[in-house]
Amino acid sequence: MAVEIPRSLLVQLRTALEDTPVGGYIPESSWALVWSGLAALAVWYIASREDRPIRYTISPANFPKEENILENPSIKVSGTSAIQCYAPATGQFLGFVNPSTPEGIDRAIDQAHAAQTEWAKTTFRQRRAVLRSLLQYVLDNQEEICRVACLDSGKTMVDAQLGEILVTAEKLQWTIKHGEKALRPESRPTNLLMAYKRNTVYYEPLGVVAALVSWNYPFHNLIGPVISALFAGNGIVVKVSEQTAWSSQWFTSVIRGALVAHGHNPALVQTVVCWPQTANHITSHPKISHITFIGSQPVCKKVAESASKALIPVLAELGGKDASIVLASTPKSDLPRIVNTLMRGTFQASGQNCIGIERIVAAPEHYDTLVSMLTPRVRALRLGPTSDVGAMISDNAFARLENLVADAVKAGARLLAGGKRYTHPEYPSGHYFVPTLLVDVTPEMAIAQEECFGPIMVVMRAASSSAEDILAVANAPDFGLGSSVFGSEWDSTLHEVVRGLKAGMVAVNDFGATYAVQLPFGGVAGSGYGRFAGEEGLRGLCNLKAVCEDRFGWLGVRTAIPRPMQYPVPDQERSWRFARGVVEVGYGMGLGRKVGGVVGILRNS
């Protein structure tokens, strides 16, 4: 931005300075330097003002005015295609949301495309400004965001503060600070034969991308893909879950408010909600350039099949069976801290956490101690919207979870707490499952293989403290999302286990730390493919355009086809020897072969 300072103002400033004690010591020859410094300060000041967030307002969330508790709450109601929204913790009716039709989805995608055409022309600084104002709004309105998320998903306020606010603030801050570095044009090396070329990779917007997100973190799962898409220069259509359709409407207005505050088209961000039979209209839409899918394996297979019709690339995050490993080298004095971490990692969001701790794998040296420490802690957990553990999103998984626990007990596991659904005396229409502690679980049991996605703590004993036996248990399921390992940093077994884990993310002496610092998020095997978050996540939403151009074109140094290689080829044998000489010059190992290549070129020219 050019800043013009009127000459009259400079004269006034000089007069004012000369009248001060400092002005008398400034030589005539130094005044030009003084003016340059003042001009630079003026530019910096104006620029810093432009980078300040804009505090904007939107309509408050539409909390229900009357308490209408549904007896048998469900999102499906006979006689209507509308989605019934209710609070999983209490059964309170929140309203109806009409699902999107194929025609409505088409309109949303077209509107996003029209807005993206202009958005793609914005600078990184302009995009940062929008995200900075969005971050300011999130920080200023943490309580309202948490209350909306809690009401629609059943989690507690503490769980929402950690899983909705903290991670969103981190993603916004990371993108503001480091996003441009990830997407700035990148110079790439050349080689001897192409030494006259300059090579660059550009990260360009794809257009309009889509995200199909799960219900367990209704605010963060919606806003996370939006942050990355916007900074990469894309428009986005987010298909939110039917389970959290009520909150998604307001969360969308939060995001759009930041765009409006900076004079951009809010249609750049679209959210739709629809029944499963309509979703394939999004996943096979020819105007969608990329799909981020967060959900289950069976649904992902349908999404990938649908996307293949339009050759749309898919990033898949499919949950996991994450192991938290306690090695023999773990100091006994550290066990209380680790137990606190295991409790938080297992029961946060009532266990409905894609990187939640699904299995605790303990070395024999600590197994009994851990079980004795965990048992009273799990038994003491209280259920309720203002208690320790909140509700599950629905009662659909209750029978499956009860059967997994019962089958494990029949196979020899010990049930020390919970294991069944719970009718809350104050909230009989809420969806609660008793926090469960299941020990002596073995790898062949179904509960050690399947993702529970509920408040179930599974504890497994490794055959020995060796890395081989630890990994045999940890790597048994067909999942590979995240994991955590506790032990001494000086223990070679710890490093061997970290390297040997079949997982996309590993936290050492911690839980879930990789996402808290925006490292690439994703897994292997049954946990999916591709990565979001970090540099890899941003670049995955771009067209990586490779550009090779002449470094000295202005001097006439350009690629020319040598005479022996020109069509029609005069002599195949001599041309082949000439080409072989070129290869030897470029790639021959040692000076002798390169010199021989030069000779071959000269003899066959």
**Catalytic site positions:** 317, 354
The conformational region for residue 365 under phi > 0 = left, psi -120 to 50 = alpha, else beta, is alpha
What is the per-residue DSSP string for 522-557?
Answer: --SGGGEE--BSHHHHHHTTEEEEEEEEESSGGGT-
User: Which CA distances in Å does 327 have to 320, 475, 493?
Assistant: 21, 15, 8
Q: Is 369 exposed, middle or buried (0-12, 13-18, 19+ CB in 10 A)?
A: middle
419 within 8 A of 398, measured Cβ to Cβ: no
Q: How do beta strands 528-529 and 314-317 pair?
A: antiparallel
Query: Cβ neighbours of residue 137 under 8 Å, at least 6 residues apart?
Result: 55, 56, 254, 257, 258
User: Which CA distances in Å does 384 have to 88, 148, 387, 426?
Assistant: 11, 16, 5, 9
171 within 8 A of 533, measured Cβ to Cβ: yes
Neighbours of 278 (CB within 10 A): 17
Q: What are the DSSP E strand ranges found in 464-585?
A: 482-486, 505-508, 528-529, 542-550
Distance, in Å, from the CA atom of 283 to the CA atom of 300, rounded to the nearest integer, reads 11
Provide the edge-to-edge strand list for the sheet that holds 482-486. Answer: 414-417, 436-439, 456-461, 359-362, 323-326, 482-486, 505-508
Query: Cβ neighbours of residue 390 under 8 Å, at least 6 residues apart?
Result: 89, 150, 154, 155, 156, 159, 349, 350, 383, 384
